[in-house]
Amino acid sequence: MFFDKFKINGFSRTRTLSAGLLATTLLVSAPYLAKAAVDPAIAPQEEKIPVDMNAGTLIYDEKKQLVTASEDVEFIYGDRILRAQTVTYDLETEIVEAVGEVVILEPNGDVHFAESIELSRDLGDGFVKKLRSVLSDGSRVKASEGQRIGARETIMRKAVYTACEPCKKNPEKAPVWQIKAREVVHDNVDKSIVYDDATFEVYGTPVLYTPYFRHSDGTVDRQSGWLAPSLSFSSEQGFGVENSYYFDIAPDLDATLGARVFAQQNPLLLGEVRKRFDKAAVEFQGGITYAERDDSVGGVTVRTDKEVRGHLFGEGLLEINEKWRTGFDVETVTDDQYAREYDITSDDVLENQLYAERFSGRDYAAIRSFYYQDVRVSERQRDQPLILPEIEASFYGEPNQFFGGQWQANFSGLGLNRLENGQETYRLSSDLGWYKRAVMPIGLVNTVDLNARTDVFYFDGRSADLDDNQARFFPTAHFESRYPLARQFEKSQMVIEPKVSLTLAPNLGDDSVDIPNEDSQDVQIDTVNLYNANRFPGYDRVEDISRFTYGVRTGIYDFKNNEAEIFLGQSLRLEEDGGLFSEGSGLEDNVSDIVGEVKAKFTPYVDLNYRFQFDGKDFSSKRHEVSSIFKGGPITLNTNYLYASAFNTTDIPDDREQVNSTLKLQLTPQWAARTGAVYDFSSRNEGLRRAQIGLDYTGQCVDVQTIMQRNFTQERTGENSTEFFVRLGLKNIIDIQDQQ
């Protein structure tokens, strides 16, 4: 019986498998296609997918119960295509064989080639010869033969895998890297791939051998096993190796246990555990070691005896309902040097908190408790307070609903205790306000912000001659106007925008200064807070006395995202402040310092931001901040510069001047060199703080990053060391994260 081209409906879709199931795809696809073509009744009726078959000849031998398709056979099943020279199906033995230039095209772009495919035992066991696959991501796999045993295992013998593209001039040339194994077994049940006698080769040369190697097949998000190791060198700790084992305990619970082993120091044991509940999640990570460290005794750095050192970090969150949630954060270390010495965190102050929050439309409420651990190794270390509790609630009306504007109400409370000196502070505050924005027909933009704030303080542990109770009522009216003027050109637009504000506030005199300043110490005029109604952060200080603020911003902007912009501004207080602002803040005189900003962006070559502050009387320099990125040809230069004059009455009594710059030179499309340095120009600490140099290679299937870094700090900080890192990334196996 002979048939020309025909179509059969009612074929069941087979599952598209991952890259780890290459042989399985070949061993299953063709037989199902062939069997369905002859007997559509085998397919489940709930999903009917048409099967198109094209063949030069189709022969059915009723006596031998053989179906043979030949001459450029093509099965099209959904988005999958099978091609072969000949496909034979034995209806009695249920053995299907496809031979001659067998090709399977997957919907995801994977292409599999084979010499022949055979499936037996009612499609349960199968065999493939000379497998060769090209995956959609460019990866390639070869195997001399493959075998499927039941529904559980697929075995590939003499297999080779690489994610590297072949050489265009010589495709048979060995790739940059490849993995060869005597046998590769894919287990469909535990979703794993196991290599026996595996060898990692670089340009065809074996460099690493392992008798056993196992990893997930990629069809599961996670699976127990060893994580990729990392290597490092430090002048303080010597050579180091880190490796960890991941435990997939349950769908909602996992853990990681590992260690860093050093040549010159005791190992650091590391662990992490994560647990997910229906409406909650918790995570903890920590480390412990028994090692010595540098400490300061009487201003002299000494080496301590070995002691237990470690850290514990954690966080948790519970979703109580749609509006309420509660959680915690834990950050604690045994000593000041530990976190930086072992690269755990570079934070100067660690924060521990317990909190609850409520969200409802525009409204928000929270109650928190904080404990801080100061790990700065310097004279600036302070007695960090315990906050128990901090309460806040904010309520906002609908815009344009209340007299054409929006009302708001904020309430807060605080309990603060300094453990070393026993001083306690308690505060209750309320803040009621109304805000309105209006645009006049001539383009003038006006805003009105009316506010009334009440604070009540109670102090314990202060000197006897100071009142333990303080109350403050502080109303303000803040008016702001800006008038943007634009001029359109053929390829750009120029904008000039003068902006003024008037803040009306009472003079509170010395009563406000008598309140201890816990949260309003860091105040300095700049372009960000110039127009604020209150330029003090926190609650302990308020900016009383009326003032007038003025400035102008001008810029030119083209239609290619390029821009150049300049801003200048200043504030004028209408009477003396009584010493409320510290020397160096820029607000200590009635006429404030002049602040400004220059921005320039010329895509993709220059991105510049320069902010400055000059004395309002003699125009002497107070602060300069530069952040710039320059790209030209193969060169990328990133520079950050800071100069700030002394901030008297604070813990920053000296001028600060520092530059941090990095330079990257793209030598070729694959090779790049990097260097960088941090230099301190301060009179007390002038000198190089950090220097590094690196060489990177970025290939199609491999990345290599080398970094050598020298830190010049005090020995007792835990950062004074010479470090060398080599990071290797292999496509689809090890990802590399750039840590410039």
5 has pLDDT over 90? no
pLDDT bracket for residue 478 (50, 70, 90): very high
pLDDT in the model for residue 645: 86
pLDDT in the model for residue 45: 42
> What is the rounded average pLDDT of the residues 244-267?
91
Instruction: Count how many domains the chain has.
Output: 1
Cα angle 572, 573, 576 (rounded to 5 degrees) comes to: 140
CA gap 245, 223 in Å, rounded:
10
pLDDT 10s digits, 59-70: 888 888 888 888
Residue recorded with tokens 């309990």? 415
CA gap 363, 310 in Å, rounded:
41
> What is the rounded average pLDDT of the residues 191-216?
85
Cross-strand pairs, 8: 51
CATH classification of the domain holding 202: 2.60.450.10
- Examine residue 388 and state whether it is found in any structural domain, yes or no: no
CB 309 within 8 A of CB 338: yes
Helix (H) or strand (E) holding 33: helix 22-38
Query: Tokens at residue 624, please?
Result: 């300069």
Give 401-421 as a 3 state SS string: CECCEEEEEEEEEEEEECCCC
CB 172 within 8 A of CB 8: no
- Examine residue 218 and state whether it is found in any structural domain, yes or no: yes
pLDDT in the model for residue 36: 47
Could you please report the per-residue DSSP string of 679-731? EE--TTT-EEEEEEEEEEEE-SSEEEEEEEEEE-S-GGGS--SEEEEEEEEET
557 has pLDDT over 60? yes
- Examine residue 675 and state whether it is found in any structural domain, yes or no: no
pLDDT 10s digits, 320-370: 999 999 999 999 999 888 888 888 988 888 999 999 999 999 999 999 999
CA-based nearest residue to 369, from 383, 393, 346, 389: 389
CB 279 within 8 A of CB 318: yes
Predicted TM-score (pTM) of the model is 0.75
Highest mean pLDDT among 100-114, 183-197, 210-224, 335-349 belongs to 335-349
3 has pLDDT over 80? no
CB 386 within 8 A of CB 370: yes
218 has pLDDT over 60? no
pLDDT in the model for residue 740: 38
Highest mean pLDDT among 115-119, 302-306, 332-336, 582-586 belongs to 332-336
Q: Which of 15-19, 169-173, 308-312 has the lowest mean pLDDT?
A: 15-19
Total residue count of the chain as it appears in this document: 740
- Examine residue 204 and state whether it is found in any structural domain, yes or no: yes
pLDDT in the model for residue 219: 61
Terminal CA-to-CA distance of the chain, rounded, Å? Answer: 71
Query: Tokens at residue 9, please?
Result: 């409906």
Highest mean pLDDT among 183-187, 252-256, 730-734 belongs to 252-256
Percent of the chain past pLDDT 90, that is, above it, reads 40
Residue 425: CB atoms within 10 A of its CB come to 22
CB 123 within 8 A of CB 28: yes
676 has pLDDT over 90? yes
More confident residue, 346 or 50: 346
Helix (H, G, I), strand (E, B) or coil at 98: strand
35 alpha-carbon distance from chain centroid: 50
pLDDT in the model for residue 578: 67
Query: Tokens at residue 534, please?
Result: 């209150």
CA-based nearest residue to 457, from 398, 517, 535: 517
Strands 280-291 and 386-396: unpaired
pLDDT in the model for residue 623: 92
CB 538 within 8 A of CB 519: yes
pLDDT bracket for residue 75 (50, 70, 90): confident
158 has pLDDT over 70? yes
Query: Tokens at residue 307, please?
Result: 């002691």
CA-based nearest residue to 112, from 156, 60, 151, 152: 156
377 has pLDDT over 60? yes
CB 703 within 8 A of CB 709: no
H helix and E strand count, the chain: 2, 43
- Examine residue 19 and state whether it is found in any structural domain, yes or no: yes
pLDDT in the model for residue 7: 34
CA gap 429, 474 in Å, rounded:
11
pLDDT 10s digits, 610-630: 999 999 888 889 999 999 999
Give 453-472 as a 3 state SS string: EEEEEEEECCCCCCCCEEEE
Please give the sequence-ordered ranges of beta strands (E in DSSP) within 135-224, or none if there are none: 140-149, 153-162, 177-187, 192-202, 205-216
- Examine residue 707 and state whether it is found in any structural domain, yes or no: no
- Examine residue 645 and state whether it is found in any structural domain, yes or no: no
pLDDT in the model for residue 374: 87
Cα angle 118, 123, 127 (rounded to 5 degrees) comes to: 30
pLDDT in the model for residue 463: 66
pLDDT bracket for residue 435 (50, 70, 90): very high
467 has pLDDT over 80? no
> What is the rounded average pLDDT of the residues 589-613?
94
pLDDT in the model for residue 20: 32
The 8-class DSSP code of residue 176 comes to S
pLDDT in the model for residue 278: 92
Query: Tokens at residue 30, please?
Result: 């063709």
Q: In whole angstroms, how large is the CA radius of gyration of the chain? A: 36
Residue recorded with tokens 């460019």? 138
- Examine residue 523 and state whether it is found in any structural domain, yes or no: no
Sign of the Cα pseudo-torsion (32, 35, 37, 39, in order): negative
Query: Tokens at residue 23, please?
Result: 């042989």
pLDDT in the model for residue 532: 93
Domain extent at residue 153: 6-223
Helix (H, G, I), strand (E, B) or coil at 450: strand
> What is the rounded average pLDDT of the residues 524-528?
91
Whether the bond into 604 is cis, omega within 30 of 0: yes
Helix (H, G, I), strand (E, B) or coil at 616: coil
CA gap 106, 119 in Å, rounded:
19
